[in-house]
Structure 1
């Protein structure tokens, strides 16, 4: 029995984020990245007071946000007080946008910090032109804005 043939993987469903400030983080993803709230819950058995599942505009992907005190499975360790985020194996996540420069500017005006300004990269041979930009969200995660015409 081939498990891959009998249990198809269709894509990535969601990413999960631990929010230093739950309300501010949810607001950022709604106001800046055009996600909307799909569901809100709590799970006392995991010390989870607030959680939200946010749905993308096209409905095919989600971002799950947990409050800072939740005891949820995660890679690495939590940063110590005043310490920058501890780097784990997840480097960034990418969202498709029409205009990387506009998304970058919008994120910065909403409290994100610059990471990589809008640029065009040429990848591989033959070269594939990729237009993108990256920010650190107000919560600290790295978000890449990838122009949809690159695919």
Structure 2
């Protein structure tokens, strides 16, 4: 278990991010085969399937079968999800080959005197993902 430096809570940091998938099977194939996130745990069946996918760093993406259009409780607060990257350009090319629309081609951006490299794409459910490259942030 990781040790947190957050003094407000007993442990802090992301454990998982949950995503509702209208096409669970297609999303599962995309994330396991295309993105390389192995199934760490799964449970349920039919329209109640859930899979916890390992991101490779102790964090997870939790995929929920949600074939019926449902209202997102609390609205859509997430702007995008970001993955650390050692090579944004290469990672964007990999998701491009998977058929993902690239919404922002890789580019360098200055943030508080530090150069970061970013690139954005859409996942199979229309969710926005970012590859974020900078060893200091």
TM bracket, shorter-chain basis:
0.7 to 0.9
Unaligned runs of 5+ residues in structure 1 are 77-87
Kindly indicate whether the alpha-carbon contact (under 8 Å) linking 1:50 and 1:66 is maintained by their aligned counterparts in 2.
yes
Kindly indicate whether the alpha-carbon contact (under 8 Å) linking 2:23 and 2:67 is maintained by their aligned counterparts in 1.
no
Aligned residue pairs total: 131
Q: Secondary structure at the match of 2:13?
A: coil
Which of 24, 35, 43 in structure 1 is aligned with 2:26?
24
Structure 1 runs, 4 residues or longer, greater than 3 Å off:
4-7, 69-75
CA distance in 2, matches of 1:96, 1:28: 18
- The residue number in structure 2 matching 1:65 is 63
CA distance in 1, matches of 2:7, 2:136: 30
**Per-residue deviation at 1:106?**
0.9
Are residues 1:135 and 2:121 paired? Answer: yes
CA change 1:10–1:132 in 2 (3 A) is same
CA distance in 2, matches of 1:117, 1:65: 26
TM-score by length of structure 2 reads 0.83
CA change 1:72–1:57 in 2 (3 A) is farther
| Aligned-pair Cα RMSD in Å | 2.4
Q: Secondary structure at the match of 1:9?
A: coil
CA change 1:5–1:146 in 2 (3 A) is closer
The structure that has the greater radius of gyration is: 1
Q: Secondary structure at the match of 1:90?
A: coil
CA distance in 2, matches of 1:107, 1:6: 37
Summarize the alignment of residues 1-151 of structure 1 with structure 2, pairs less than 5 Å apart.
7-42=9-44, 48-58=47-57, 60-69=58-67, 74-76=73-75, 88-124=76-112, 127-151=113-137
1:86-130 Cα distance to aligned partner (Å, 9 max, x none):
xx2200111112211111111121121111110000012xx1101
CA change 1:132–1:53 in 2 (3 A) is same
Kindly indicate whether the alpha-carbon contact (under 8 Å) linking 1:36 and 1:55 is maintained by their aligned counterparts in 2.
yes
Kindly indicate whether the alpha-carbon contact (under 8 Å) linking 2:116 and 2:134 is maintained by their aligned counterparts in 1.
no
